[in-house]
Amino acid sequence: MSIWVLKDGQREGPYEEQDIRELIYEGTYTGDDPAIRGGQFDWTTLGQLLNREPAEESPEAPEPPPMPVAPADAPPMPGAQPEAVESAALTAMPAAVDGGPLRVAVVDFQMPFASVLMLMLKWALAWMLVMAALGFLAAIAWAFFLAVIVSAAHR
């Protein structure tokens, strides 16, 4: 998985884990440099990131991750206009740096029952209005068709 590093106020990466380990060995980075792994929302140090083991899955549903927040000194995404980047949350999403599409999976959403009921009532009303309009158009078409047939038969 891709890793980004914040070094001297510049975001560098993405790197693979093996490349990061080599760069630390060469002295380019230290274990105290801020880093973030693709798909994560919290910045941490390279030392913590590389020593972290995958979490075991628990039978209960996990809590959703917190909203992404970048360090105050994190640079904006490359190519972004400063006025366009209003939120620090945008700078913390490494997937946006790749330039590729961001994939989102909606697992669940919560909506009050009254809102669901109102939405269904609006859909039903809209459906009835569309059906009435189509019925009216069909009646006009049949009337025209019958008028043509009756006038042709009358001659």
Total number of domains constituting the chain: 2
Mean pLDDT, the chain, integer? 75
Question: For residue 75, is it within any domain?
Answer: yes
The yes-or-no verdict on residue 76 having pLDDT over 70 is: no
Query: d(Cα 118, Cα 135) in Å, to the nearest integer?
Result: 26
Residues 53 and 81 in one domain: yes
Q: Which residue has the tokens 């309009």?
A: 133
State the CB neighbour count (10 A cutoff) for residue 13.
20
Residues 94 and 121 in one domain: no
Q: Structural domain of residue 120, as residue ranges?
A: 110-155
Q: Which of the pair, 137 or 36, is modelled with greater confidence?
A: 137
Question: For residue 103, is it within any domain?
Answer: no
User: Average pLDDT of 104-109?
Assistant: 79
Q: Which of 25, 26, 52, 22 is nearest to 39 (CA)?
A: 52
SS3 for 14?
Answer: strand
The yes-or-no verdict on residue 144 having pLDDT over 90 is: yes
Residues 60 and 133 in one domain: no
Residues 125 and 58 in one domain: no
Chosen domain end from 98, 119, 142: 98
Q: Which residue has the tokens 């209005």?
A: 129
The yes-or-no verdict on residue 56 having pLDDT over 70 is: no
